[in-house]
Amino acid sequence: MTAARVRRPHRSLAIVLCTILLAALAATLPGAASARADVEDFTFSSWTVEMDLSLRHPGPGAGPEVHTTSVVEVTETVVADFPEHDQNRGIIRSIPLALGDGQMLFGAAQVFDEHGDPVPFESSHGGGEVTLEIGDDDYVHGETTYVIEYSLSDVIATIDDESVQEFYPNLLPTEHPQTIEQFAAEIRVDAELAGAMLRDASCYRGAADDSSPCELEAVELDDGGLAYSYAAGPLAADETVTVDLGFEPGTVPELTLFEEQGWRPYLIAAAGPATALAALILLLFQFRASRHARGGTVIPRYEPDEELPPHLAARLIPTLQGNAFPAAVLWAGVNGVLQIEEGGDEPGDGKDALKKPLLRKTGSTDRLHPLERRFVDTALFIGDGGTVSLDANETVGKGYERFTTSTADAAVDEGLLAESKTAMRARSRTLIAGAVAVVAAVVATILLLPAATERLAPWAIGAGIAAIAILIVGACVPVTLRTDAGAAAKERLDGLREYMKLSEAERLQMLQGAGTAERVEVDERRVVDVYERLLPYAVLLGLERSWTEELQHHYEQADYTPAWLPGQSMQYFPLALANVRTAADSSASVGGDSGGGASASGFGGGGFAGGGFGGGSVGGR
């Protein structure tokens, strides 16, 4: 926004903002927190649960998609003891619908008072549960009775143990901040199901995950059914009761996901992998479209290309860019532009050689390639200074950060690199396909998270992760590629690498070969000159350790100390050079920023309180 477009806020807007800020501050005060907590400040005098469990068979003429289901009719009679002052307008009851890998169906709910008169309520379904907000805007006081009736279908299932089907309900909410003075429950099993039961029922009481047993009273009904009852009190906050009834396998037909929902969930699950696969195919085409121009046969060579200084060479092979700074320092040194001296209070030698190297400008940069000239003048010796420390120098680091942004343009200007329109189009296609795959995976995951289809969600999640990886890789594949001239320059650079990898005898043989014997006299001083000019490229190509040892040997043989490294014993030349490399790297690096829902079987004593289905929560409103 420019200064000309700034407008003074209206007075009314300032008042509104102040009001919002004051309201937000008031909401954080202890009084506000306690006001919100007050709606939970009551107790339940009693909580009674009645459940009628039966099988519902398809009627005559029903289609093949209709199958026998297990149904439980639930009646919860809840007596809340509210305070006499205006605090509560009713209660909120939530009922989870998850059951193992599946999901139960919720029948229409009704709420009455103790006289059988309807009580107003609102129901909502989301997040895998049904929430009933019972009451209206009127406050309620003292003992208030709510009779909540609802049904659940598909309540018997194979959970973990294939040898048994289970009815495994939490009879109380697993989350209730209030105490319950008296609790009673009765579960009535019809005669058809009673005949399929396996051994006695199990009962568990306590906080969630508590495996403490409780004892059910079983009674055989006149019609051949069974009734299980349990009573207790008082129950502490969040204490629940869970029962588990086991039935013979196959008592209730269990349909596969395909039989229940057809192709739809599988098509949703396949959307993410399919689009991710398309993005992967486009990424492979992008790799093909982003190939650099190819060079010819690599021939070992010992003469550096003066038109290919370290920073340009590093742009041709991006993996070398981390070596460009120290290589460029040595390039300026061997070309007589600077000297590397010992910094600090006292000069060192041996293991302390060049621990804090100091660069001193000793010659004109006109002899350097324009790119390396700009490196020396704008990254190293900024202004009129004749010396600079390489010991984690932040000024040098920031100057180098600015300098490196121009090296890619320099490589393009030199005709070594060029932006490929074909590669750019391929990148665009990959990124678009990857983004579509991510969106498809997210949407599919959301649609598959309901319990009945959540087993398919990992396919969508995995596809989303793969699509994100494709996006990252696709964005990183370069679109500025080597030209034919760049390929030839890289070929010459590879030739230097091959030469430095040769044995000493092979290198000397090349120096006195038929094509070079007349213009090169192979003595120690000539070898030093050739090897010294290759030193920056050895650092650039990651061969500095072996090459500095070779150069050290020839320095000692020629009894020669390089002008760009005065005052240093050649005995410690490799170590001194390694310290220069470390200091250069440190300067280059400081410039940038661097409850409810059954999940396990409880049959045969392996269950626990709160481990069954349903339960959910209850609280005031």
On the question of pLDDT at 355 being above 70, the answer is no
On the question of pLDDT at 318 being above 50, the answer is yes
Give domain status of residue 606, yes or no. no
Do 273 and 332 have their domain in common? no
Do 143 and 242 have their domain in common? yes
Do 534 and 408 have their domain in common? yes
Higher per-residue pLDDT: 117 or 34: 117
Do 147 and 68 have their domain in common? yes
CA-nearest of 546, 543, 550, 503 to 524 is: 550
Do 450 and 533 have their domain in common? no
Q: For residues 321, 325, 329 and 330, what is the CA-based torsion angle, rounded to 10 degrees?
A: -40
Give domain status of residue 185, yes or no. yes
Q: What is the pLDDT of residues 5-24, one digit of tens each?
A: 333 334 443 444 444 444 44
Partnered with residue 146 across adjacent β-strands are 78
Q: Is there a contact between 134 and 92 (Cβ–Cβ < 8 Å)?
A: yes
CATH of the domain at 62: 2.60.40
Displacement of CA 345 from its chain's centroid (Å):
49
On the question of pLDDT at 448 being above 60, the answer is yes
First-to-last C-alpha distance (Å) of the chain: 47
The confidence band for 75, taking pLDDT boundaries of 50, 70 and 90, is very high
Domain count, the chain: 3
Q: What is the mean pLDDT of the chain?
A: 81
What pLDDT sits at residue 60?
59
Do 144 and 211 have their domain in common? yes
Do 192 and 286 have their domain in common? no
Do 407 and 446 have their domain in common? no
The confidence band for 454, taking pLDDT boundaries of 50, 70 and 90, is low
Give domain status of residue 140, yes or no. yes
Do 230 and 176 have their domain in common? yes
- In this structure, of 168-182, 216-230, 289-303, 468-482, the range with the lowest mean pLDDT score is 289-303
CA-nearest of 481, 620, 616, 566 to 128 is: 616
What pLDDT sits at residue 17?
40
On the question of pLDDT at 1 being above 70, the answer is no
What pLDDT sits at residue 66?
57
CA-nearest of 453, 447, 543, 442 to 502 is: 543
For 219, phi then psi, to 5°, come to -135, 135
Partnered with residue 202 across adjacent β-strands are 244
The confidence band for 443, taking pLDDT boundaries of 50, 70 and 90, is confident
Give domain status of residue 573, yes or no. yes
Cα atoms in the 13 Å half-sphere on the side-chain side of 158: 13
What pLDDT sits at residue 2?
36
Q: What is the pLDDT of residues 243-296, one digit of tens each?
A: 998 888 888 876 665 555 667 777 888 888 899 999 999 999 999 998 888 878
In angstroms, what is the C-alpha Rg of the chain? 40
Sequence-distant (≥ 6) Cβ neighbours of residue 384 within 8 angstroms: none
What pLDDT sits at residue 156?
86
Q: What is the pLDDT of residues 518-563, one digit of tens each?
A: 444 557 788 888 888 999 999 999 898 888 888 888 888 888 888 8
Displacement of CA 389 from its chain's centroid (Å):
41
Give domain status of residue 298, yes or no. no
Give domain status of residue 32, yes or no. no
- In this structure, of 151-165, 320-334, 345-359, 393-407, the range with the lowest mean pLDDT score is 345-359
Q: Which domain, by its residues, includes 427?
A: 260-290+421-480
What pLDDT sits at residue 22?
46
- For the whole model, what pTM was predicted? 0.55
What pLDDT sits at residue 33?
45
Do 57 and 148 have their domain in common? yes
Question: 221 by DSSP, 3-state: which?
Answer: coil
Give domain status of residue 97, yes or no. yes
What average pLDDT does the segment 30-35 reach?
46
Do 458 and 487 have their domain in common? no
What pLDDT sits at residue 428?
94
What pLDDT sits at residue 585?
72
Higher per-residue pLDDT: 40 or 263: 40
Omega of the bond leading into 309 within 30 degrees of 0 (cis): no
Give domain status of residue 394, yes or no. yes
Give CA–CA dist 398/387, Å, rounded. Answer: 17
What average pLDDT does the segment 77-104 reach?
89
Do 120 and 210 have their domain in common? yes
Give CA–CA dist 295/52, Å, rounded. Answer: 82
The confidence band for 72, taking pLDDT boundaries of 50, 70 and 90, is very high
